[in-house]
Structure 1
Amino acid sequence: MLAVGAATACAVALGATGASAAPVSPDTPYPGSIPSWAQPSNDQGAAAADTSVEGELFLSLRNQDGAKALAEAVSNPRSGKYQKWLDAAQWIARFSPTKDDYANTVSFLESKGLTITGTPDSRQYVVFRGTAAQVNSAFGAQLHKYDFKGTTLIGPSQAPTLPKAVAAHVVGVTVDQGAARHPNYATPDSGQSDSGQGGSGQGAAPRSRSAAPATPSAACSNYFGQNADTVPPAYGRTSFPTYICGYTPGQIESAYGKDALVKAVPGNRGKHGQAPDGKGQTVAIIDAYASPTILADANAYSARYGLPPVDYRQIVPSPGEFKDGALCGFPSGWQPEQSLDVDAVHGTAPGAKILYVGGYNCNAGIDIALSKILDGKLANIVSNSYGNQGEAVSANYLFGQVNLELQAAGEGIGLYYSSGDSGNEAASLGYASPDFPASSPWVTAVGGTSLAVAQDGSYQFETGWGDTRDQIVNGAYNDPLPGPFRFGAGGGVSAAFAQPDYQKGVVPNTLAQGKRVSPDVASDADPYTGYVVGISPITDNTTLATGPFAIFTYGGTSLACPLTAGQMAVAQQVSGEVIGFANPAIYATSRRSGTVQDVVPPPTQEALAFTSPSTGSKYLVSLDLDTSLQTARGYDDVTGLGSMNYQFALAVARQGDHGRPF
């Protein structure tokens, strides 16, 4: 059995928020709606009355314990109910709030002059929008502005309240901007300034990024060790390999064992007679907004790298429905994420169908996008390359999100989340924290590595993704080696969730201390050993005009997550099994299978020479130095159990086929 459910998560979340996640009685306030950053010490005063505010009310499941028990049973290979999923209609009929309770909740919000902007079929939550004045009147929230590490966010200065009749079936209220997600991609030139600390330059709310990193120069390599550059003495050397221009899909497939998988399957065919390419599987991808050129870009990319045309469809809002551009980083800030996700899934599973579902913003719009997939059971693998900043969100929000994850698990839908690009988040938060939703025990968190691929496409080695970068000025290093932290895989010990049973006996007790630790697995994420991505960059966020198609280099756990999702799609095709929520099977497989690639500290310090394509500045990038997170033999909080590869993914899938070896 898994050790934590939505109710437990809600209660444990007090450590992060200092408040109960649900009202003690129906006529009490909702103190769990106040995020940890909404403190008097950083209060900037009342929000303007006409400020546009988005919020959600989360309703009670009809049988919370039953939903948790179902999710545990159908996901656990040792259970007699393993893989006996419900379809979406069955899950909704059994666990969703009643139609009457939902209608009453909607009616209450409308009676307060609020606009309803989201009503999922599961009826788990209602999304609404109004002015700060309307929200204050409806909930007594007294919305204020707060300075959260240099970003101004809106949040409640006192606990919102609801009338007894509404509170009887509402377990959570969110009326703050802290739940805005940010994409977890990185480029060789992205990140904090060299004198600063921190990760990919993202604050609590995502800031707009350049959609078009400079094209790599001849100073990079097409495979690990192809070229080298002379640098000042470091780690007993004066010459280091140059960074990777961007691995191709073929190199990633080869390094992660696609050829070995083909040879291992009798007749080079899976259970249904196809070559192992993900055919017959659908991988869903969720991001905010939508690229106007995604299909043309993906097919141009496929033609360049010898892939078949992508089998792609999307469910997206019209550009006129896009909201909260400044808060979310605008469409240009999310376009690279969508392109990276599509190219990475297509590169690892070229025969799989890809379904892209875009949110109208990076907050509740993403919840609506997820619900569209869950409520229609449109895919059983969902790649999510975004996250919150640490667990700095309200307990009510955590509770509502966990209920969606329970629905996914009960239906046999695996949710994969990138673990983050800012290490332990201490530089941004002031304390160590893994990113949510990757810290949830009901999702598969994908951490990051730095991958070395040889000239023949073979796997050389991996280290944990954690880059420091030291600029070379006048023949010397600008800072003492190894230089300032640049970016690295997110991970660490949750303050909000207890340790699930599947991690017990695998994650060291000295690390876990009874809590959920993330990530679970990892894949290539380092932008200095990154991936080629094709984009026609958005040049105007109003008209969505784009520039010419070009190939750029991207990394981040935004790369690691879809690479893993694609491999899982191939494993499902070959095995004929649906994996669903994968963690219990992943950890069970790791106990008996040697197919997972353990990522351990390198025997000597690895580093890469980097010449910035945009400025010409030279740097030494030192690897496997990820804030307080460290790689280690066995499980670690940078790479989890180790690096995902096709053989391990197949072994996980075959837990449903009596665990027989391939």
Structure 2
Amino acid sequence: MRRTLSPTAVSAALAAAALALATPLAQAATSPSVAANAAHVTTVRSCAASTHRDVMACQALKVTGGTLAPAAAERTATGAAAPSGLGPSSLQSAYKLPSATAGSGRTVAIVDAYDDPNAASDLAAYRSQYGLPACTTANGCFKKVGQTGTSTLPSANAGWAEEISLDLDMVSAACPNCKILLVEAKSSSMANLGTAVNTAVSLGAKYVSNSYGGGESSSDTSYDTQYFNHPGVAITVSSGDGGYGVEYPASSRYVTAVGGTSLKPASTSRGWSESVWSGAGSGCSAYDAKPSWQKDTGCARRTVADVSAVADPATGVAVYDTYGGDPGWEVFGGTSASSPLIAAVYALAGTPSSGSTPASFPYAHTGSLNDVTSGSNGSCSPSYLCTGAGGYDGPSGLGTPNGTAAFTG
């Protein structure tokens, strides 16, 4: 039996583990790194960056080498052997989530492209490792469908399978009692992924995570209307992993754009510290109108992001994935981690009111977020669009969850 500690005890244990207990990760993969940082962590993209208009790429970054923030912290907190990377106890502690009791009966939908044939078995392995309740097709917790809601699934793809594993594991970590609906689009075109979003909503999901993005285009406002205008549904989207710059659908005015942070244990009352992750996407949309609830003055159109959560691969999360030759336990970062986390926090917070715009909820509850005031993802003017600052800033938005109050409405 794994022992469960209170959030306060978990915070204390994680802080005591300290960053000095960093865990080396053996060098892997010979493909070139696409991201590195001061901690000398190297990564590869799970999905190649898109070179075609209106074709999306997933935002998962797999760690291939370097030194990670302490896996020892997770082991100290849970009293169990733990893989490298942050797990459920760490994430629940860092964001003060009521995950032991909340979320029962609520469905978080994950929208991705292509099929992960091992999704169910890999999800079971992750949840078993951390002592989470079983979430299976048999017990009605997990369901996988194609983009129109039928049992006809798309072709398999190893890169998107990594993304799917990351998404499923992050929802599990933040909301162990939530049900999970995986909707697999037949390709990574915006049209097919958007159809999958509509299917997720039609099947009853009130929380829909999208961990993908591509360049903005003049078609975005029509996509907004076709795929993302779902009042009363919390739709989260990764802001991107390329640093300063805007991607779609994060720039849709109907979604919650989720940026990224570096998350580390700290000897503070919270037990954690956060700064802007240098890879988080942010900026000012070229096409989407500014929603009425967004009040920053340095961007006349939609500003990205709204809120954020851990995304730095150097403070990355543990993921279990086996399709396509993956070894099982790996560490991932990218805003593909933060989007499903925030979708699960919305689920913990409760069903959005009928006709509401859940992206606006955090703007009405700014005091219920952890303000991220340091770090940068590039150079820009005005500077708040790319630099952590008190109050609103582009890369971290209004901040990270401090409980669930900021996600109610």
TM range (shorter): 0.7 to 0.9
Give distance in 2, aligned partners of 1:578 and 1:490. Answer: 30
State the distance in 1 between where 2:114 and 2:66 align: 31
Task: Mark the CA change 1:352 to 1:193 in structure 2 (over 3 Å): closer, same or farther.
Answer: closer
Structure 2 residue corresponding to 1:633, chosen from 365, 390, 395: 390
Report the equivalent of 1:303. Answer: 128
In structure 1, the residue matched to 2:108 is: 283
List per-residue Cα deviations over 1:182-235 (Å, max 9, x = no partner).
Answer: xxxxxx9841699xxxx9572435789999755x78876225799xxxxxxxxx
The aligned residue for residue 234 of structure 2 is 414
After superposition, residues 594-605 of structure 1 pair within 5 angstroms as: 594-601=367-374
Give 3-state SS (helix, strand or coil) of 1:342's partner. Answer: helix
Conserved in 1, the CA contact under 8 Å of 2:74 and 2:87? Answer: no
Which whole-Å deviations, capped at 9, do the CAs of 1:87-108 have from their partners, x for residues lacking one? xxxxxxxxxxxxxxxxxxxxxx
The answer for the alignment partner of 1:117 in structure 2 is none
* Equivalent runs, 1:53-452 vs 2, <5 Å: 190-191=33-34, 202-205=49-52, 214=64, 221-222=70-71, 245-258=84-97, 261=98, 276-310=101-135, 311-316=141-146, 322=154, 331-363=157-189, 364-374=191-201, 376-389=202-215, 391=216, 393=217, 395=218, 397-405=219-227, 407-409=229-231, 412-424=232-244, 433-452=245-264
- The secondary structure found in structure 1 opposite 2:350 is helix
- Structure 1 residue aligned with 2:338, among 534, 554, 560? 560
Please, which runs of 5 or more residues in structure 2 have no aligned partner?
1-30, 38-43, 76-82, 136-140, 380-385
Map of 1:490 onto structure 2: 281
Whole-angstrom distance in 2 between the partners of 1:295 and 1:337: 14
Taking the aligned partners of 1:293 and 1:300, their CA distance within structure 2 comes to 11
C-alpha separation in 2, matches of 1:518 and 1:361: 26
Distance 1:349-1:535 versus aligned 2 partners, 3 A rule: same
Tell me the number of residue pairs that the alignment of Structure 1 and Structure 2 aligns: 348
- Which residue is 1:480 aligned to? none
Identity within the alignment, %: 33
Please give the alpha-carbon distance, in whole angstroms, between the structure 2 residues aligned to 1:212 and 1:437. Answer: 22
Mapped to 2, the partners of 1:440 and 1:362 lie a distance apart of 18
C-alpha separation in 2, matches of 1:596 and 1:207: 29
SS at match of 2:365: helix
Helix, strand or coil: the match of 2:285?
Answer: strand
Root-mean-square deviation (CA, aligned residues, Å) is 3.5
Mapping of 1:620-659 within 5 angstroms?
624-628=375-379, 629-645=386-402, 647=403, 649-653=404-408, 655=409
Q: Pick the structure with greater CA Rg.
A: 1
Relative distance call for 1:248 and 1:207 in structure 2 (3 A) is closer
Distance, in Å, in 1 between the alignment partners of 2:91 and 2:35 is 28
Distance 1:578 1:347 in 2: 27
CA contact (8 A) 1:381 1:580 kept: no
Q: What are the superposed Cα offsets for residues 243-285 of structure 1, whole Å, 9 maximum, x if unpaired?
A: x931111111011112xx58xxxxxxxxxxxx53311110000
Which residue of the partner structure matches residue 359 of structure 2? 583
Once residues 104 and 321 of structure 2 are traced to their aligned partners in structure 1, the CA distance between those partners, rounded to angstroms, is 25
C-alpha separation in 1, matches of 2:355 and 2:177: 18
SS at match of 1:503: coil
Query: Cα–Cα, structure 1 residues 599 and 293, in superposed 2: closer, same or farther, change >3 Å?
Result: same
- Compute the displacement of 1:448 (Å): 0.4
- The alpha-carbon distance between structure 1 residues 455 and 249, as it changes in their structure 2 partners (threshold 3 A), is farther
Return the offset for 1:537: 2.9
Partner SS state of residue 71, structure 2: coil
Instruction: Please say if residues 228 and 254 of structure 2, whose CA atoms lie closer than 8 Å, have aligned partners that are also in contact.
Output: yes
Does the 8 A contact of 2:277 with 2:311 survive in 1? yes
* Residues in 1 aligned to 2:337 and 2:181: alpha-carbon distance in whole angstroms: 17
C-alpha distance in 2, partners of 1:380/1:633?
31
Q: CA separation in 1, counterparts of 2:315 and 2:61?
A: 19
| Cα separation, 2, equivalents of 1:210 and 1:353 | 22
Q: Which one of 501, 504, 525 corresponds to residue 292 of structure 2? A: 501
Pairing partner for 1:569 from 314, 328, 347 = 347
> The residue matched to 2:236 in structure 1 has which SS?
strand
Which has the larger displacement, 285-294 or 364-373? Answer: 364-373
Q: Are 1:414 and 1:579, in contact at CA under 8 Å, matched by a contact in 2?
A: no
Equivalent AA in structure 2 for residue 316 of structure 1: G
Q: Is the 8 A contact 2:243 2:281 kept in 1?
A: yes
CA deviations over 1:408-448 (Å, ceiling 9, x no partner): 12xx2121101000112xxxxxxxx4111111111110000
Determine helix, strand or coil for the equivalent of 1:366. helix
Secondary structure of the residue that 1:358 maps to in structure 2? Answer: strand
Q: Shift of the alpha carbon at 1:499? A: 2.1
Alpha-carbon separation, structure 2, partners of 1:280 and 1:515:
37
Shift of 1:650: 2.6
Shift of 1:627: 1.5
SS of residue in 1 equivalent to 2:369: coil
How far does the alpha carbon of each residue in 1:357-397 deviate from its partner, in whole angstroms, 9 at most, with x for none? 000000132122122123x24201000000113x1x2x2x2
Name the CA shift for 1:638/1:296 in 2 (closer, same or farther; >3 Å).
Answer: same
Question: How far apart in 2 are the matches of 1:331 and 1:535?
Answer: 13
Say if 1:456 and 1:291 are closer, same or farther in 2 by CA, change over 3 A: farther
Q: Name the amino acid aligned to 1:437.
A: P
**Are positions 1:460 and 2:257 aligned together?**
no
1:42-65 C-alpha deviation (Å, 9 max, x unpaired) = xxxxxxxxxxxxxxxxxxxxxxxx
State TM-score, norm by structure 1. Answer: 0.48
Separation (CA, whole Å) in 1 of partners of 2:400 and 2:61: 29
Separation in 2, partners of 1:355, 1:225: 28
Distance 1:633 1:342, change over 3 A: same
Change (3 A) 1:303 1:321: closer
- After superposition, the Cα gap between the structure-2 partners of 1:492 and 1:382, relative to the gap in structure 1 and judged at 3 Å, is same
Cα deviation for residue 305 of structure 1 reads 1.0
Match of 2:8 in 1: none
Return the alpha-carbon distance in structure 2 between the equivalents of residues 416 and 340 of structure 1: 15
Is the contact between residue 261 and residue 312 of structure 2 (CA under 8 Å) also seen in structure 1?
yes
